[in-house]
Amino acid sequence: MAKDSVDVCIIGSGAGGAPLALELGKAGFKVVVLEKGAWYQKEDFVHDEILNSRRNFFMPLPWDEPHLWRVEGQPYTRTNEAWTANCVGGGTVHMSGYFYRLKPVDFRMKTEVGAPKGSNVVDWPITYKELEPFYDQAEAELGVSGNAVPHPFLEPRKGNYPLPPLAHAPVAEAVEGAARSLGWHAIPTARGIISAPYRGRDACVYCTLCGSYGCEHGAKSSTGASLIPAAIATGNVELRPKCMATQITVDDKGNARSVLYLDGDGVTQEQPAKIIVSSCTAVESARLLLNSTSSRFPRGLGNDNGLVGKNLLFSSFGQSKATFSVSKRGTELPWLTSTAPFVNRSLQDFYVMPDDRFGFRKGGTLGFMWAHPNPIFAAVGLARKGEKGIFGKALKDKLREYKDSKILEFEIYGEFLSNDQTYVSVEPTVKDKFGLPAAAITIKRHPMDFVMTKFLVERGEEVLQQLKPDRVDRVGTAGETTILQGGTCRFGKDPATSVLDPDCRSHQVKNLYVVDGSFLPTSGGVPLTLTIAANSFRVASKLIARLKGGGK
């Protein structure tokens, strides 16, 4: 059944969709937001590891909604890899909230450090300066806590964060001292978690469970806690949860006409709109466009040049852990006995290298944190140790040792070089529970990614060793963080080499926009959530001006 037409229909309510909905609603435009997941309330967020991390509260089950995954040349396997979250607010609901800005070099990476052979690195069609005011806006609207201290790679900014930093664990000073002894800078990590009451939301209560969990106090700056309620309060934005978009239709001129979707009862509905915006994540927006075929767009909506789904980006990942025995070392290292959950320290000394003597130029960020306290996750990890794993008394002994331990770790957020062999397609022979062809992800890592990540992991281990732990265990140097994703609808000035124009509007479908991470030409060396939100605020300013100017 066709609904009454609205000004704008937005598919997705996360970091990309919510800012646009808020700004359009404030400007007086009628907006419908379609969200495939549920609208969880604060009382739905409980500290249950099985519910949150091992069932489909956030992530769909691979037999219901598979993603297909393969390394180039290998067969596909079913997985829930590269899903973020199916709920109002998307991945911002269960994120850890590490909020960094990109640096000016990220916008001019090809010019500043070059495009390695075998990569598709390009400069952005906009500059950091153009995005800077919208970083300010995103930090204020979402609520970001932090302290922007001087360091070699501090990005330009007009002021500090809107909220003071969260209280940190005493180990933060130890990390700072360790980095300083090596000639480096351990800087405060900004967080999308409010440190004081803010715009009707309660401050953080330091419960330790941020990543993988929703916040029962509304302190985490998810779009579900911040932007979506504000958008609805304008009176111009209607949110429809449990509505799965299946296709974007076009009229006889090739313009986007409507969104077909399945409502909560499984009934097909149609929402016409003057402007249609996809913000489903880079993987899922590519799938939606590729599945939206028509006589005008037989290869997928806006895909005449074959670039929808190409240049897929994740974040390069590496990790190491330092273990300390609390019973044996607590007197010697008093910070071991503190229960404060946040370390909130980062290193960006290796964000860009001055030359290629170490085999790469563009690096990334090291984020220090206490190991996540999920006990089942920890037990499974211990049981898998060694070639054959451990069980019985040996596993119990390891669990007792784990219970007496504090584990300080770091994660790498590193540049992920785009290339022709890493992309999203759709597989007609494998369908989800809605009957739609599944997203098929093919990945081939550029070898320079691994050189860079290994170098950063080694530097992080030097910091950990300065703290004299009982041991340091390297988790890996060749991973990728698939919840940090972009690139499948790259923006640019040339319609032959990009899907979107600099305002994130389709080159081929002038009333179609994509505002999740799909627009990103490069991955940067930080988590991307804040940048996606800032860009959405930027696109909103352009779209509002266009609509008020008669649609030109």
pLDDT in tens, 413-467: 999 999 999 999 999 999 999 999 999 999 999 999 999 999 999 999 999 999 9
pTM over 0.95, yes/no: yes
pLDDT above 90 (res 388): no
As a whole number, the mean pLDDT across the chain is 96
pLDDT tens, position by position, 333-371: 999 999 999 999 999 999 999 999 999 999 999 999 999
> Residue 380 CA to chain centroid, in angstroms?
26
Q: b/e string for 188-225 if b means 16 or more Cβ within 10 A?
A: bbbbbbbbeebeebbbbeeeebbebbbbbbbbbbbbbb
pLDDT digits (tens, 9 = 90+) for 141-175: 999 999 999 999 999 999 999 999 999 999 999 99
What per-residue confidence (pLDDT) applies to 552? 55
Domain 6-548 carries which CATH code? Answer: 3.50.50.60
Q: What is the mean pLDDT of residues 44-65?
A: 94
Q: What share of the chain is helix, strand, coil (3-state, %, to 5)?
A: 25, 25, 50
Residue 1: is its pLDDT beyond 80? no
Mean pLDDT, rounded, for 518-546: 98
Are 410 and 348 within 8 A, CB to CB? Answer: no
Length of the chain: 552
Q: Please tell me the distance from the alpha carbon of residue 533 to that of residue 101, in angstroms, as a whole number.
A: 11
Instruction: Measure the CA–CA gap between 123 and 112, rounded to whole angstroms.
Output: 9
What pLDDT is attached to residue 78?
96
What letter represents residue 180's amino acid? R
Half-sphere exposure of 328 (CA within 13 A, CB side): 11
> Residue 70 pairs with which residues in a beta bridge?
442
pLDDT of amino acid 27:
98
C-alpha–C-alpha distance, residues 275 and 180, integer Å: 52
What pLDDT is attached to residue 381?
87
Which single residue is written with the structure tokens 């003071």? 164
- The pLDDT assigned to 551 comes to 64
CA-to-CA distance for 319 and 349, rounded, in angstroms? 17
Distance CA 353, CA 361 (A): 5
Instruction: Give pLDDT, residue 402.
Output: 86
Section 200-212 average pLDDT: 95
* Domain assignments of the chain as residue spans, ordered by start: 6-548
Spacing of C-alpha 440 from chain mean position: 19
Q: What is the pLDDT of residues 483-498, one digit of tens each?
A: 999 999 999 999 999 9
> Is the pLDDT score of 259 beyond 60?
yes
pLDDT recorded at residue 378 = 87
Cα–Cα distance, 543 to 541 (Å, whole number): 6
Report pLDDT for 362.
Answer: 98
